């Protein structure tokens, strides 16, 4: 792919922190695009509103979700899956904004994954108390492609574990503008988000947003 198409002069992570082989935090890497990213989230949420979905076991998730891109991740009693349309609107997910795709591709490259071609972007919205239990991202076809995860708004504690649910977890504080990339030997590591603390962020108020980019199919 010609990366010039995705030139991004503002892509300057302030520093990188390796979590483990295959996983890195690019601190502040989304800061230059913060307003554009948040505006785009709002536009997407008008077309495909945030939903509290149910797990296959029937529990309501505390994180509200929507998607953009060719494919969107959904869950209900039938299971976890990717699909091209929103279950509520029955329309295709809104397209992935260029700024999303560009940033995700640059972050993946910075982390050592040169050929990332995301076709799915899950948008998670956390309010105080919302959490994401430890899980693996394994609904994708090709585990050779990494995960790129952008944090915006209120800070959160990211748990990063091993390949077994019972493995010990590291705790990584993620703040506004941080990007985490994991792939290769880290691709199937368990991870999650501890319950969000109450706070007020100048750009997002009482919310944390997370954009998770994947190549699903």
Per CB under 6 A, residues contacting ligand SIN are 124, 132, 149, 151, 158, 191, 193, 210, 212
- Give every CB contact of residue 13 below 8 A, 6+ residues apart in sequence: 26, 27, 28, 29, 110, 179
Distance CA 171, CA 18 (A): 13
H or E element that contains 201 = none
Q: Shortest approach of Fe ion to residue 37 CB, angstroms?
A: 19
DSSP H helices, the chain, are: 34-47, 98-110
Q: Shortest approach of ligand SIN to residue 137 CB, angstroms?
A: 7
Which is closer to Fe ion, CB of 137 or CB of 178?
Answer: 137
Task: Kindly identify the residues of this chain, within the stretch 45-74, that bind Fe ion according to CB under 5 A.
Answer: none
Q: Shortest approach of ligand SIN to residue 174 CB, angstroms?
A: 6
Beta strand 23-27 with 120-126 is unpaired
Q: Shortest approach of Fe ion to residue 28 CB, angstroms?
A: 22
Distance CA 31, CA 36 (A): 10
Which is closer to ligand SIN, CB of 52 or CB of 91?
Answer: 52
Strands (DSSP E) found in 84-217: 120-126, 132-135, 147-153, 156-160, 170-174, 179-182, 191-193, 208-214
Which is closer to Fe ion, CB of 124 or CB of 204?
Answer: 124
Cβ pair 8, 98 in contact under 8 A: no
3-class SS of residue 32: helix
Candidates 119, 137, 140, 178; binder of Fe ion (CB under 5 A) is 137
Q: Binds 210, which of Fe ion, ligand SIN, none (CB < 5 to 8 A, cut-off by type)?
A: ligand SIN
In the bound complex, which residue of the shown chain has the CB atom lying closest to ligand SIN? Answer: 210
Q: Binds 158, which of ligand SIN, Fe ion, none (CB < 5 to 8 A, cut-off by type)?
A: ligand SIN
Considering only 44-52, 76-84, 116-124, 133-141, which stretch makes contact with Fe ion by CB under 5 A? 133-141
Which is closer to ligand SIN, CB of 120 or CB of 132?
Answer: 132
Strand partners, 81: 74
Which is closer to Fe ion, CB of 33 or CB of 137?
Answer: 137
Radius of gyration of the chain (CA): 16
Q: Binds 124, which of Fe ion, ligand SIN, none (CB < 5 to 8 A, cut-off by type)?
A: ligand SIN
Binding-site ranges for Fe ion (CB under 5 A):
137
């Amino acid at each position: 792919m010609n990366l010039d198409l995705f030139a991004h002069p503002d892509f300057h992570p302030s520093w990188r922190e390796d979590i483990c082989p295959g996983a890195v935090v690019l601190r502040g890497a989304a800061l230059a695009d913060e307003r554009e990213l948040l505006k785009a989230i709002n536009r997407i949420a008008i077309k495909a509103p945030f939903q509290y979905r149910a797990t296959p076991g029937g529990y309501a998730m505390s994180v509200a979700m929507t998607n953009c891109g060719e494919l969107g991740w959904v869950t209900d009693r039938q299971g976890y899956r990717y699909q091209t349309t929103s279950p509520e609107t029955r329309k295709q997910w809104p397209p992935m904004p260029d700024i999303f795709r560009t940033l995700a591709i640059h972050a993946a490259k910075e982390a050592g994954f040169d050929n990332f071609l995301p076709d799915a972007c899950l948008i998670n919205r956390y309010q105080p108390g919302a959490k994401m239990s430890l899980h693996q991202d394994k609904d994708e076809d090709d585990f050779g492609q990494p995960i790129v995860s952008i944090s915006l708004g209120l800070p959160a504690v990211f748990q990063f574990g091993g390949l077994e649910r019972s493995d010990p977890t590291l705790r990584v504080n993620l703040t506004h503008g941080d990007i985490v990339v994991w792939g290769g030997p880290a691709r199937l590591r368990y991870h999650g988000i501890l319950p969000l603390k109450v706070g007020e962020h100048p750009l997002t108020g009482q919310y944390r947003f997370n954009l998770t980019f994947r190549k699903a199919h």
